[in-house]
Amino acid sequence: MKYSARVLFVIIAILFINCKNIAPLEPVTLFVGTYTDTDSKGIYSYRFDSKTGMLSEMKLQAELPSPSFVKISPDKNYLYAVQETNAYDSLGGGGVSAFAIKNKQLELLNSRSTSGAHPCHISISSDGKKLAVSNYTGGNLAEFNIENTGSLSTIKNLIEHKVIDSTRIPHVHSSLFRGSNLFVADLGLDALKRYARVDDSYVQGEQSSIDFAKGDGPRHFTFSVDGKFMYVINEHSSTISIFQKNDTGAYMEIGRESTLSPDFKGDSYCADIHLSADGKFLYGSNRGENSIVVFEVDETSGNLNYIETVSVQGDWPRNFTIDPSGKFLLVANQKSDNITVFSRDDKNGKLNFLHEVSLPMPVCLEFL
């Protein structure tokens, strides 16, 4: 009996210690970028309850003209926001602003011209030293150095797409850094351009252009964790293109899936795309059908298996995001002025609508 009691005591002690070491889910801060064409004034924040999925304590963090895309640095110390306008400077360009995040509040550091109209996307290198801004109407991409203070340098590289194709109008929509490569999606040219860093500038990469069918409109893209597969969401054809990297490092298309329900009738335009952190599920947003499409990812072949299509409970879903716990998915619905929250089953990827909050013209969601 004494031995059994001792064993029982040890087991209880181990369980108690392990429970103490499990960090509780703490509320996190959500930053929201908006268009300021109506009643919005700039960048807002919410308190997000990671246990219940509830949003509360809305606060205006920074007054800024149409901060339609916001991005937090890898070290979580800074936030960067575009000013999607053509009136930032006398040359008809847009702007980008740098903020320090102190006690979950934003403090403006500086702002720069992007040398192109209507900037719509920001990417940051993994080391937090480079920042790229996609200028949609400008048809170019501006790269800045991020200083030690978090401020932005003047433009270090300006990649022009207007000189690539004289028959079509370039619309640079997004970019991603991958090692020494920079991938740039151009919706107007129906292409994904690849650039390689040489010293402190860029040259065309070995696979300089990944070309899509005319009218596809590649908008956003994401990579599997190991970089073996790439998924591109096409705005105009409402499809997701699947690419696999071959032995030479080139990405070759291996498949394509529609993002729309078979019975949907009408116009629809894709917006955003995200993989779950474990790489098992892929999500895409549809403006028009007003839905999120859910796919299961075959991690060996890269192929997508359709799971479901879920109404966003709003109109014109733009950016969406999965919260840090992986238990919730949030959608910014531009035209219905609301953010909708869904619970997410990490076993099957399915979504279930929970609640919504009102905010004028939300278009980008970024968790701290």
pLDDT for residue 12 is more than 80: no
- Domain-located, residue 9: no
pLDDT for residue 60 is more than 70: yes
- How is the beta sheet containing 78-83 ordered, strand by strand? 70-72, 78-83, 95-102, 105-113
SS3 of residue 129 by DSSP: coil
The predicted pLDDT at position 125 comes to 97
- Domain-located, residue 7: no
Largest separation between any pair of C-alpha atoms in the chain: 88
Mean pLDDT, residues 16-34 taken together: 71
pTM across the whole model: 0.92
The predicted pLDDT at position 8 comes to 52
Q: How many domains does the chain have?
A: 1
- Domain-located, residue 8: no
d(CA 143, CA 112): 11
Nearest Cα to Cα of residue 91 among 131, 147, 142: 142
Which residue range(s) make up the domain with 262? 29-367
Confidence of residue 4 (pLDDT cuts 50, 70, 90): low
The predicted pLDDT at position 159 comes to 97
- Domain-located, residue 158: yes
d(CA 67, CA 81): 6
The predicted pLDDT at position 19 comes to 44
Comparing 215 with 90, the larger pLDDT belongs to: 215
- Domain-located, residue 300: yes
- Domain-located, residue 24: no
d(CA 366, CA 176): 16
The predicted pLDDT at position 205 comes to 87
Contacts 24+ apart (CB under 8 A), 233-238: 233/259, 233/270, 233/271, 233/272, 233/273, 233/284, 234/270, 235/173, 235/187, 235/269, 235/270, 235/271, 236/187, 236/269, 237/213, 238/268, 238/269, 238/270, 238/286
The predicted pLDDT at position 206 comes to 87
Confidence of residue 20 (pLDDT cuts 50, 70, 90): very low
Mean pLDDT, residues 281-298 taken together: 98
CATH code for the domain of 238: 2.130.10.10
Percent of the chain with pLDDT over 90: 90
- Domain-located, residue 128: yes
Q: Give the side-chain half-sphere CA count within 13 A for 153.
A: 14
- Domain-located, residue 3: no
